[in-house]
Amino acid sequence: MTEPIPQAAALPRDALIISAATTGSWPTKAQNPNVPTTPGEIAGAAIRCGEAGAAIVHIHVRDDEERVTCDPERYAKVRDLVESAGSNVVINMSTGGGAGTSSDEERMAPLVLGPEIASFDCGSVNFGERVFINSPSFLRELAVRMKTYGVKPEIECFEPGHVWNALRLIDDGLLDAPFWFQFVLGVRGGSPPEVKQLQHLVDMLPPGAHWSVCGIGRAQLPLGLAAMAMGGHVRTGLEDNIWYRKGELAVSNAQLVDRVARIAGELGRPLATPDQVRALLGLRGAHTGKPAIIAAGPV
């Protein structure tokens, strides 16, 4: 079923898109008690991040023991809680699973919900002590399913080879413009979290691609600042970094969004609204009012 693309004022050229990655698959409450892990906590964090200026929230869900799960029912619960609270923040569901601990089919399961955006990890990479496998055949299948369900891929690249993979998938017609790239820098196994690495990744992009960066751990803020200075966009949140500053745990995801929003104000970059992001990326539109499981169909 084709959904109308929401009408919104065009995104100002200098606008900043903030993504908030609230939970991820690894951080635990033992590491930082403010990591949201239940559907209610994750939805609450998403709502508050939206209020703080995030246009997109990147969602993972956990089971009752805090372990990562790909259960579509849990994802649907989070989305329903966010939307029923009146938040129109764009929801980006992870297809990463536990980065090396979930099967390919499990990882693709949330796509039946037709999220506006879902992560598309564009190649394999060592991930700490694990190996995060995204085989060529999996990437092709993931791309096809995202098209089927009208989901915009967030093309996550951990190193330059992943951008090269994306370019091949684009050439093969499996990924369509407008492109939305997320550079993940600082994973042990991927690109180091350095500005020159970020510049190289940006230089590889196809014309007109939109991009954001998330730095892991202590690289989160400096790389975000670099991206802001370069005209890119920023991801923050407890998925990537549980600290506010050295020795001081972040008290919430919204605290981290607040800081980015504050700095963006100093730099004169207005914050993009969710509907501006929908218009920019051609998203299918908020889910509100549709059944939990959508019929497959192109955007």
Binding site for Zn ion (CB under 5 A): 94
Distances (CA, A) of 140 to 22, 42, 161, 176: 28, 30, 16, 13
CB-nearer residue toward Zn ion: 94 or 197: 94
CB-nearer residue toward Zn ion: 256 or 279: 256
Q: For residue 55, with 0-12 CB atoms within 10 Å meaning exposed, 13-18 middle and 19 or more buried, which class applies?
A: buried
CB-nearer residue toward Zn ion: 11 or 56: 56
Residues with Cβ < 8 Å from 129, sequence gap 6 or more?
none
CB-nearer residue toward Zn ion: 23 or 87: 23
3-state class (DSSP) for residue 140: helix
**CB-nearest residue to Zn ion:** 94
Instruction: Give the integer Cα–Cα distance in Å for 50 and 47.
Output: 5
Question: For residue 218, what is the enclosing H or E element?
Answer: none
Instruction: Give the integer Cα–Cα distance in Å for 27 and 5.
Output: 35
- According to DSSP, residue 70 is labeled -
CB of 187 to Zn ion, least distance (A): 11
CB-nearer residue toward Zn ion: 11 or 127: 127
CB of 268 to Zn ion, least distance (A): 30
- Indicate the residue type of 138: F
Instruction: Give the integer Cα–Cα distance in Å for 74 and 260.
Output: 29
Evaluate whether 60 touches 74 at the Cβ level (below 8 Å). no
CB-nearer residue toward Zn ion: 37 or 94: 94
CB-nearer residue toward Zn ion: 83 or 121: 121
CB of 207 to Zn ion, least distance (A): 27
CB of 116 to Zn ion, least distance (A): 15
Instruction: Give the integer Cα–Cα distance in Å for 37 and 52.
Output: 20
Please, which residues bridge with residue 185 across strands? 215
Instruction: Give the integer Cα–Cα distance in Å for 42 and 60.
Output: 8
Which tokens go with 253? 């995801």
